[in-house]
Structure formats: C-alpha cells, structure tokens
Amino acid sequence: MALTSVLVLGPTGGFGQFIVPELIRRKSSFTRIGAYIDESRPLSPEKSDMLESYAKQGVELVKASPKEASPFKGGFDVVIAALGNYALKKQPELISTSISAGVKHWYPSEFGADLTVGDNWNERYYRDKVITREHLVAKAAENPGFGYTYFLNGRFTEWAPIPHFGINPKTHSAHIVGRPEMEQSLISVNDAAKYLVCTLLDPIAGPERTYRFVGENYSWTTIFSTLEKVQGVRWAVTYKSVDEARSNQLRAIASGDVDAELAASHQVIQGTGRTLLPKPYDNNKFPEENPQGLEETLRALFEDKKKFPLLGF
C-alpha cells in the first residue's frame, strides 16, 4: 500500500514550504493533499499568501485547533509532521488524536541525524524527537495497522551555514566545534522534499521503516572552500573543543536560555561527528532523483536569501 492521502503539519514552515509544492508537482499520484492550519497560530501575510497559492493548486486547507480530532478525519492515510523545534513536544498528543481519527501512518518531525548514532539519543537537542519515537512505538504496539516512517537526511545544506550553529555568512566567519576533516551529511532541502514524496509512494511493508538520504558527505574544509568560491571572499574559520560547547550548554541551562542550550547541544553533536548519517543510503531506490551538489545549492541559497531568514541577512 502506498500513502496517497496526505496531511502536512507545518505546511508553511522551513521544510513544509518545500514539501507541499513537491506534493503539488506530483499531485496526479495523490488522492488528497491537505495543509493543516493551526488557527491558534499567527497568520503573517507571507504565510497567508502561501496558503492561498496552495489552495489554488488543489490543496485542502484543513483548519484546526491542536486538541481536535476532526482535522484528521475523512480518510487521510498519513500525516507528515514538519514542525519546528518549539512545537515538537506537541507531537505525541497529535499522534494519539490522529490515530483516534483513523490516520494509519505518521512521519515524525525528524528530517535530520540518526538518533541511534553515538549518544544522540541522550542529547538535549533530540529530547522531543526521542519522546516522539517512544510514543510511536507504543502506539503501533497498541494499534495494529498503524505505522511510522523515520526519514533521515543528515542536515539540510541551507541550514548548515547559519549563525545559530556558529557559522556567519554575513561576516564570512565561523567558530565551530569539530575538525577540518570532519564530514557532514548534507542535502538540499528541496531534494529532501523530493525523496520524501518518493517514500510516500513506496509500498508499506510493516509498522516501522527508516529511510536515509544524502546529497553527499562533505568535510568542513570542502564546505568552507565552497562558501569562499560562491561568495568570492576569504572566510575566517576557527575550531573550538567539544568541552567548550558543553560548558556553554551548562551556562545556558543555568541562565534558562533554551535557544542557546539547544545550539550548544547541537554543536556537541556536530563536533563529535554525529551529524554524519551512517550507510546504507536509500538514494539508489529512487534513481529518477539526482540531488544537487553543494556549490549549486549554496549559489541558489545566496540568490534567494529571503527564503532562508535564519541566514541572518
């Protein structure tokens, strides 16, 4: 069975704004495409325009408040949760509500590193993703016929060079945890959306499945030399120790700065090589997709900075 009736949570977010257009591009393969609109959330003009454009292209705008089951009713096979870090803790309740409304499959907000690598499972950055995984396992055991997909893509290339992670494309400087030769798994966000839609159409054969997709694995040396080439300027790059990032994390915890705590936790993960996705990868299952290279993705990124506000321009 393929998953052809799809509801997207966070349809206008960083990743959601790529998933929905890709579903629209392949809409002849889908019976229903829904965009979940949490009415308790602010509606900016950009978000409103995006939703209007989706609706014009046949996407159902499903208005909802978080505890209601009704938005999940009416035959959605699968929910893709593309929720931001601060919304992840809402997932377990949304999963339970959706199952009670008949949803058969859930793609949790993962879309990153493999949580089973190293000590990722115990890292603060992944806390809510781990809680969601545990909830999915429990719910699948209670509800035969319900299943879930872990979609892993390492890092979105467009989110790698951002100040939040110690890399500033505006000042061409970086102070990061790691070593120059350390590799990162990168993929453009649009390629991740393409592979995601491919997996929806890949028949289900059990309650749990995991896909791993990369564009390529790149060392920091290659990432910074490519940034230099694309921006035409020298970068100043320094490396700090994992211990320094851990100390920053402890300071952030003491001062109650959750954003800084998450950033430091991510730096530790990145600096210990845990954002590198282990093989095997599933790219070969979908040979029709050809992910963009690093340079091409970075060039496109700097041409449309508005789409990526986290860059800090």
Ligand X SMILES: NC(=O)c1ccc[n+]([C@@H]2O[C@H](COP(=O)([O-])OP(=O)(O)OC[C@H]3O[C@@H](n4cnc5c(N)ncnc54)[C@H](OP(=O)(O)O)[C@@H]3O)[C@@H](O)[C@H]2O)c1
Backbone angles phi, psi at 311, to 5 degrees: -65, -25
- The verdict on 14 binding ligand X (CB under 6 A) reads yes
Q: What tokens appear for 199 in the block?
A: 């997996």
Of the ranges 8-16, 25-33, 218-226, 279-287, which one interacts with ligand X (CB under 6 A)?
A: 8-16
Hey, is 190 helix, strand or coil?
helix
Residue with tokens 């996705």: 277
- The verdict on 109 binding ligand X (CB under 6 A) reads yes
Residue with tokens 């951002």: 162
Site size with ligand X, rule: CB under 6 A: 21
Helices 45-56 and 16-25: crossing angle, nearest 10°?
Answer: 20
Contact between residue 189 and residue 158 where contact means Cβ atoms under 8 Å apart: yes
Residues 6+ apart with CB under 8 A from 74: none
Beta strands in 93-213 (DSSP E): 105-107, 147-152, 155-156, 167-168, 173-177, 183-187, 208-212
Cα 220 from Cα 226, distance rounded (Å): 10
- CB of 90 vs ligand X, minimal distance in Å: 6
- The verdict on 159 binding ligand X (CB under 6 A) reads yes
- CB of 12 vs ligand X, minimal distance in Å: 5
- The verdict on 10 binding ligand X (CB under 6 A) reads yes
Q: Which is nearer to ligand X, 38 or 183 (CB)?
A: 38
- CB of 11 vs ligand X, minimal distance in Å: 6
Cα 217 from Cα 199, distance rounded (Å): 21
- The verdict on 271 binding ligand X (CB under 6 A) reads no
Of the ranges 92-100, 154-162, 197-205, 296-304, which one interacts with ligand X (CB under 6 A)?
A: 154-162
Of the ranges 5-13, 162-170, 243-251, 291-299, which one interacts with ligand X (CB under 6 A)?
A: 5-13
- CB of 164 vs ligand X, minimal distance in Å: 10
Q: Which letter does DSSP use for residue 59 in this model?
A: -
Q: Between residue 79 and residue 108, which ones bind ligand X under the rule CB under 6 A?
A: 82-84, 86-87
- CB of 241 vs ligand X, minimal distance in Å: 23
Q: Which letter does DSSP use for residue 166 in this model?
A: T
Of the ranges 70-78, 92-100, 109-117, 120-128, which one interacts with ligand X (CB under 6 A)?
A: 109-117
Q: What tokens appear for 275 in the block?
A: 């954002």
Which of residues 21, 34, 112, 147 is near ligand X by CB under 6 A?
112
- The verdict on 15 binding ligand X (CB under 6 A) reads yes
Phi-psi domain of 232 (left: phi exceeds 0; alpha: psi -120 through 50; beta: other): left
Q: Which is nearer to ligand X, 51 or 140 (CB)?
A: 51
Q: Which is nearer to ligand X, 53 or 247 (CB)?
A: 53
Contact between residue 77 and residue 30 where contact means Cβ atoms under 8 Å apart: no
- CB of 141 vs ligand X, minimal distance in Å: 24
Of the ranges 14-22, 119-127, 212-220, 290-298, which one interacts with ligand X (CB under 6 A)?
A: 14-22
**Which residues contact ligand X (rule: CB under 6 A)?**
10-16, 38, 41, 82-84, 86-87, 109-112, 155-156, 159
